[in-house]
A and B are shown apart, each in its own frame.
Chain A
Amino acid sequence: MSTLIKNILRFILFIGIQVFILNQIPPLHQFVVPYLYFLFILWLPFNLPRFPLLVIAFAFGLSLDYFTGTMGLHAAPCVLIAYVKPFLLNLLIPQETTEQSYIEPSLSSMGWAPYSLYVALLTFIHHFYLVLLEWLQFGDFVYFLGKVTATTAISLLLIFVTEMLFSRNAKFRTNQ
């Protein structure tokens, strides 16, 4: 399957899962909201130029916002992690080898430790900004701290499970 079609399918699937499954779960606690949708942005290919990456992330966040009725609340953190993603990848992996030989970030293409750090950092940034936007509207500092830590932990757990369930074998780039 081509990378384009694969990512279009992922776009629809991630929005669907977030809106119709994860958002429907009755909350166990006020802090615990399961977020998984932004994994789509983390899985976008290495060689995607910066500007399309930002636009895709914005469209992705906004389409989730249309379902939840909170215009821009998810779009803003999505754009932020899309902007930070290339910088972080530059820091974490040896450029010449990995980016030229693999298509997208995954456990096997980046290695266990760099990939975990990459996911954990971007997840934290996403939630920090998302909850910050909520917090600026309402203002409750305990809520802010608690929700950032709790949602980051839950998201990391979900991403970990997703990686275990759907292990993507790293594809080498070919010259087609």
Chain B
Amino acid sequence: MKNIFLFIRQYFNLISFLLLQVLSILLLTSASKTHETFFAGATNEVTGKINSRYSNLRSYFSLQETNRLLALENAALRNALPANFQIPDSSFINAKDSSLTDSLGRVRKYTFLPAKVIGNTYTLQNNYLTLERGSLQGIKKGMSVVGPSGIVGVVVESTDNISKVMSLLHRNSKVSAMLKKDNAAGSIEWDGTDPHYLILKNVSKSSKIIKGDSVVTSNYSANFPSNLLIGTVASIIADPSSNFYTLKVRTATNFFTIQYVDVIGNSRYNEQLNIENSGKNQ
């Protein structure tokens, strides 16, 4: 017993060094997977407050650009207003259905919640945005986030007043996408190199792609509404060994200046996920 104490005393610094290292590695691995670390919730609110002060200050410098983008988005929205509604595929509506219906009997599927961006990184390999709107204001995990000019990411964590968004510029980010021209589906990822470009994988070689084609969200995504702009094709890489193209896509969203976003809730998100995952357990 005495020897153990002597050992600890002698190598106290080395042991404390190793312990701190192990602690940080544990934090790192658990944080990148579950986003539910021991005290992340509490400190999110603290750093969130500091971030929101700072972004208040910074927002003055880009008021003009933000105004222009918001005006553009307003114009686009006025044109596309009925697109937020969906005609149900059945001939009658269940009276117990609690989702909102309008006078024509269409069911509201997507709800748009505006939020202010108070924290944003784009220099790391795993980038997140912080929004000043949390679960008390209707944000839930899994909601999708769009900016004035294109999609931004997916909500991964929300505390009472702050929520954290996995940006498209994240190594684990994956969004189902399609070409606007011929609806050829693929998936949007990021290779961690250049924040201006995303990678669109698994597009079949049968589709005729040219540079500048628009890439939009597909119909298959549970959290994103379809036909939201992701970006435009910047270059085409044909892999001779497979039947698929890999495309470099220039992001529509400018991640460096993003100020305001909309968080989109799908009222049938859980329903869709449940039925998609139901076969996997059997």
Contact = CB atoms under 8 A, between A and B. Distances in A.
A27 B193 CA distance: 10
B123 A138 contact: no
A70 B17 contact: no
Interface stretch (B23-31, B215-223, B270-278): B23-31
Given A30-B193, A138-B171, A67 B13 contact: no
B131 to A, nearest CB: 13
B17 A79 contact: yes
A79 B24 contact: yes
Contacts of A30: 192-194
A160 interface: no
A134 B125 contact: yes
B17 A71 contact: no
Contacts of A72: 23-28, 31
Interface in A64-78: 65-73, 75-76
B122 A75 contact: no
A76 B25 contact: yes
Contacts of B32: 70, 137
A93 interface: no
Contact of A75 (B12, B27, B125, B194): B27
A134 to B, nearest CB: 5
B126 interface: yes
DSSP majority for the A interface? helix
A27 B256 CA distance: 10
A75 B20 CA distance: 9
A54 B13 contact: yes
Nearest to B14: A83
Interface string B158-193: 000000100000010000000000000000000011
A69 B164 contact: yes
Interface in A125-150: 133-134, 137-138, 140, 143
DSSP majority for the B interface? helix
Interface residues of A, number: 34
Given A20-B54, A51-B16, A70 B28 contact: yes
B137 interface: no
A66 B126 CA distance: 14
A58 B46 CA distance: 19
A17 to B, nearest CB: 12
Interface string B228-260: 000000000000000000000000000010000
Contact of B24 (A33, A61, A69, A140): A61
A42 interface: no
A20 to B, nearest CB: 6
Contact of B13 (A51, A61, A62): A51
B123 A58 contact: no
A54 B31 contact: no
Contacts of B26: 72
Contacts of B21: 76, 79-80
A68 B16 CA distance: 25
A76 B195 CA distance: 26
Contacts of B194: 30
B204 interface: no
A151 to B, nearest CB: 10
B257 to A, nearest CB: 9
Given A51-B16, A72-B27, A79-B17, 12 more contacts: A30-B192, A62-B27, A66-B43, A66-B47, A68-B121, A69-B126, A69-B128, A70-B31, A71-B37, A72-B28, A76-B24, A140-B192
Interface of B: 12-13, 16-17, 20-21, 23-28, 30-32, 37, 40, 43-44, 46-47, 51, 54, 119, 121-126, 128, 130, 164, 171, 192-195, 256
22 contacts: A23-B123, A26-B122, A27-B195, A54-B16, A58-B24, A62-B27, A67-B119, A68-B121, A68-B124, A70-B124, A71-B30, A71-B31, A72-B23, A72-B24, A72-B31, A75-B20, A75-B27, A76-B25, A80-B17, A137-B32, A138-B171, A140-B192
